Amino acid sequence: MKNLIKSLILAVVLFAAAQLQAQVSAGAGVVFGSDINNIGFSLNGKYSFNESWAAAPAFTFFLKKDYVSWSVLDLDVNYQLTAIEKLGGLYAIGGLNLTFWKISYDDVYDGFWGDTLDATGSDIGVNLGLGLDVSLSEKIALAPEVRYTLGGANFFRAGVKLMYAF
């Protein structure tokens, strides 16, 4: 009897793990930020709750420009709007945005301000946008996205990410 219960528990755990893996995907992307006026690189995750809803966290690091470094943490939710025949699924993007910035002047003013002048900060905002899941294979999808961030830092982002489903 104990072996039967252990086998049943093992079967349930393996089935649940197989279902969980089918719902998780991860990938990387490239983004352009309008007011940041630079290119960034992103690490993305996605957990699909069902056919319509998915949690989609992402972290983007923008290249340093004009002594300013930017990074963005997005805690988004995607809602599947419709399927476009022979192309993919159109989805809405909404969620919380945390934008981090750092200004670092090193010996720019020949010691007028001292050796360095550093400032850091962060802003909280809301993301609104659209994306498209284009399946390249059973496990790989290309996802172009556009979004606008409203809040302390207002900016538009357009990018594309390559996602792998586990």
pLDDT tens digits for 8-64? 665 555 555 555 545 899 999 999 999 889 999 999 999 998 889 999 999 999 999
Which whole-number Å values give the CA distances from 73 to 6, 63, 70, 111, 117, in the listed order? 42, 15, 10, 35, 25
Which whole-number Å values give the CA distances from 84 to 23, 74, 97, 139, in the listed order? 21, 26, 28, 19
Q: Enumerate the domain spans of the chain.
A: 24-165
The pLDDT-based confidence of 86 (bands split at 50, 70, 90) is confident
Backbone angles phi, psi at 11, to 5 degrees: -65, -40
Task: Taking residues 108-129, report their average pLDDT.
Answer: 78
pLDDT at 5: 62
Tokens coding 105? 């002047």
**Calpha distance 3→9 (Å, rounded):** 10
b/e 76-107 (16+ beta carbons within 10 angstroms → b):
bbbebeeeeeeebbebebebebbbebeeeeee
pLDDT at 105: 76
pLDDT tens digits for 123-150? 999 999 999 999 999 999 999 999 999 9
**CB-CB contact of 45 with 59 (8 Å):** no
Q: Where are the alpha helices (DSSP H) in the chain?
A: 2-23
Could you confirm whether domain 24-165 is CATH 2.40.37.10? no
Q: What pTM, to 2 d.p., does this model score?
A: 0.81
